Amino acid sequence: MAPLFEELVRMDLRTLATWIRSENNTANLGQQECRGVVEIFASRLVEEAHDIGPNEWRGLTDALDRAMLSADLDRTESAIRRINLMSALVATVGPSSDSLRNPDAMVAIFLDELPMEFDEATALAANWRQANREDIIRLRSIKNLLTPFVNAERLISDAVGKEAIRKWMTLLDRLP
């Protein structure tokens, strides 16, 4: 492990957030180390969620956004990581209107990132073992995007979003 990364692993949430938000700090890290920073930061967010004040969430969200950007995650991986983190935060400290604890925002991310329509996913899921590799990857992405809603679905307040998630949840057990 590089000395800088070892130092980052030892930082608390707020110190790490400040480091991430500082100019060009992540430029000294490789891509895998940047991904590690995302993991460390997300873990610290969940671990310390009860101690985060209402006025701190915006700055912490900004730090997360910067960390994810520096990790060069593709859109789908970024969405999956964000939805999983949001679900963990909602489970840990409850829902809120702030962007990282908002179940309705989770739905928006899910719907924006879906790689196919429900009918196509339903048809492919029926015989996914015979599907081509690209279709299997798209179905797996749907499952990875959808799974965090197992515990968060009941907290969605938007009726349209709740109905959309309920519809997609009917596919969960049939996805690879």
> Model pTM?
0.92
Residues 6+ apart with CB under 8 A from 62: 21
Residue 16: domain span: 1-73
In a domain, 87, yes or no: no
Tell me, yes or no, whether 170 and 108 share the same domain. Answer: yes
In a domain, 174, yes or no: yes
Based on the domain organization, do 67 and 109 belong to the same domain? no
Q: Are residues 114 and 161 in the same domain?
A: yes
How many domains does the structure of the chain reveal? 2
pLDDT in tens, the chain (176 residues): 567 888 888 999 999 999 999 866 777 788 899 999 999 999 999 999 999 999 999 999 999 999 999 999 999 999 999 999 999 999 999 999 888 999 999 999 999 999 999 999 999 999 999 999 999 999 999 999 999 999 898 889 888 999 999 999 999 999 99
Give domain status of residue 59, yes or no. Answer: yes
> What is the secondary structure of 111-150 as a DSSP string?
HHH-SS-HHHHHHHHHTGGGS-HHHHHHHHHHHHHHTTHH
SS3 content of the chain, % helix, strand, coil (to 5): 75, 0, 25
